[in-house]
Amino acid sequence: MDNEKLQSMTESISTTIFKRPFKHKAYFNKRLRTTGGRYILNTHNIEINAKQYDAFGEKAVIDIIKHELCHYHLHIQGKGYKHKDKDFKLLSAQTGAPRFCSAVESYENRVRYIYKCSNCGVKYARIRKVNLNKMLCGHCKGKLIEQSHF
């Protein structure tokens, strides 16, 4: 699926389910990692995580579009567009927009560093590198050593 198909799909979902036009841009953003999509308040554009389509297909993208269109239409109307707002929860339920999307990568898949306490042997899996001069074991305050790097 390309950006043009995503744009037309978003416009179609907006007019059929929400009964309102979508007048801005919808596109894939390959840099998104932890979210399925996002509605940008300043530009009113919608970005979709390309990995969601690759991993779960068109159905997942449709669900994400519905969720982001809830933010879009409520914000345009000046109503509560945040997840905690009553308006958002109500519109989400009416349109069948899911609250969350499936995770593409788990924390375990993203781990690049394994550290081990030299005192008690507890292992710590981390995505980012840790400063071994500052960080200590959370259990016994022992010194951490890098066990493996992926």
For the chain, give the number of residues: 150
Which tokens is 58 given? 């068109």
- Among candidate residues 47, 68, 108, 146, the one labeled active-site is 68
From edge to edge, which strands make up the β-sheet containing 144-149? 123-126, 113-117, 144-149
Q: Is 146 an annotated catalytic residue?
A: no
Q: Which residues pair with 46 in a beta bridge?
A: 26, 39
Question: Does residue 67 have a known ligand-binding role?
Answer: yes
* Cβ atoms within 10 Å, residue 48: 26
Per the annotation, binding residues for Zn(2+) are 67, 71
List, by residue number, the catalytic residues: 68
